[in-house]
Amino acid sequence: MPKPPQAAQPSTAAMRDGVMVSTVIDWFASEARDLPWRREDCSPWGVLVSEIMLQQTPVARVEPIWREWMLRWPTPAALAASTQADAVRAWGRLGYPRRAQRLWECARAIVERHGGVVPGGDAALGEAELLALPGVGDYTAAAVRAFAFGQRAVVLDTNIRRVIGRAWHGKPLPAAHLARPEREFAAALVPAAAADAVAWSAGSMELGALVCAARVAKCEECPLAAECAWRAAGKPGLDEAPRRTQAWHGTDRQVRGRILAVLRAASAPVNVTGLAVLEDIEPGQLDRCLGSLVEDRLIALVENDKGAYVLG
């Protein structure tokens, strides 16, 4: 007599993965920071703004600017009605000011294409609609779907990649570029239930930010310590791993930031080339940075004969 078909049993590895994922979810439930964009009453727009601001910028610097921004521009329509220069000015010293420009463009696109409503709530179309917005890439689209709309999404930032790489694969730091096998492995870890998937993404991100940081892993505080492959191997390879932090002082990025700081503080066009606060900058570098800022439409030359600029 043929045996009745049996349901497939999860493998030992899959069960272990599930336990590790649940451990992080439980840890997050008790250890999560109370951040304004995580609160129930935060709008999808607030989540989107936070995700753009948090790219390459720590929470402590983002939070005050985010609060000011949301008071001033609580909706995409409010920001779209302001100027790009207002947005760049309000961005302050968050760095990478093209993000302010892109966010302003994004607000205008949301108004034009979606009637002022942040897309992403539609499980079928949301991802494509988000990805079509200026400044929104794979990570931001997934984060908005998860954290603003509670959908199951594969959210992969550098913190999550580092936690998975260490705890599961014993690697000190993630590769510079996300390859397909890494994405597929991370996708397989995401729980099937949307609420658990969101908690896993937020929790593993928080674990990477607070406990399993790039250069200092506080394993004694980590809920994954008992299972972590990298810890079990004695945490090899970190000292030899190349540092990705870019030199800052004297770089074009720093000079661009200094030029923008001058223009942000000014209420009239500024003759940048004759300015005492920028006189230590070598003329060739100053010209190059002015040119690239104009090219990026972050500033504009308004009085050619005087070399006077304003925010774009």
Catalytic-labelled residue, pool 51, 129, 182, 206: 51
- Contacting range for ligand SF4; rule: CB under 6 A; set: 43-51, 94-102, 160-168, 282-290: 160-168
- Contacting range for ligand SF4; rule: CB under 6 A; set: 217-225, 258-266, 290-298, 304-312: 217-225
Select the residue interacting with ligand SF4 from 167, 202, 293, 299 (CB under 6 A). 167
Residue 224's Cα: distance from chain center in Å?
24
Q: Is 51 a catalytic residue?
A: yes
- Taking the complex as a whole, the smallest distance from the CB of residue 54 to ligand SF4 amounts, in Å, to 20
**Tokens at residue 188, please?**
């397989």
Site for ligand SF4 in 230-269 (CB under 6 A): 230-231
| Cα 133 to Cα 146: distance, rounded to the nearest angstrom | 17
- Taking the complex as a whole, the smallest distance from the CB of residue 178 to ligand SF4 amounts, in Å, to 19
Please identify, using beta-carbon distances, which residue of 133 and 217 lies nearer to ligand SF4.
Answer: 217
Please identify, using beta-carbon distances, which residue of 25 and 53 lies nearer to ligand SF4.
Answer: 25
Please identify, using beta-carbon distances, which residue of 145 and 166 lies nearer to ligand SF4.
Answer: 166
- Taking the complex as a whole, the smallest distance from the CB of residue 245 to ligand SF4 amounts, in Å, to 19
Total residue length of the chain: 312
Residue 200's Cα: distance from chain center in Å?
17
Please identify, using beta-carbon distances, which residue of 89 and 162 lies nearer to ligand SF4.
Answer: 162
Kindly provide the b/e burial profile for residues 156-177, where b requires at least 16 CB atoms within 10 angstroms of the residue's own CB: bbbbbbbbbbbbbebbbbbeee
* Residue 209 binding ligand SF4, by CB under 6 A: no
Select the residue interacting with ligand SF4 from 156, 217, 290, 298 (CB under 6 A). 217
Query: For the chain, what is the radius of gyration of the CA atoms?
Result: 23
Please identify, using beta-carbon distances, which residue of 123 and 232 lies nearer to ligand SF4.
Answer: 232
Select the residue interacting with ligand SF4 from 212, 270, 281, 298 (CB under 6 A). 212
Phi/psi for 310 (5° steps) reads -130, 170
- 254's CB contacts (< 8 A; 6+ apart) are 248
| Cα 85 to Cα 312: distance, rounded to the nearest angstrom | 5
* Residue 52 binding ligand SF4, by CB under 6 A: no
**Hey, CA dihedral for 33, 37, 42, 47, is it positive or negative?**
negative
- Taking the complex as a whole, the smallest distance from the CB of residue 186 to ligand SF4 amounts, in Å, to 14
| Most distant CA atoms of the chain, gap in Å | 96
| 58 contacts 109 by C-beta, under 8 angstroms | no
> Hey, is 270 helix, strand or coil?
strand
Pairing of strands 299-303, 270-271: unpaired
* Residue 21 binding ligand SF4, by CB under 6 A: no
Interacting residue ranges for ligand SF4, rule: CB under 6 A: 163, 166-167, 211-212, 217-219, 222, 224-225, 228, 230-231
List active site positions.
51
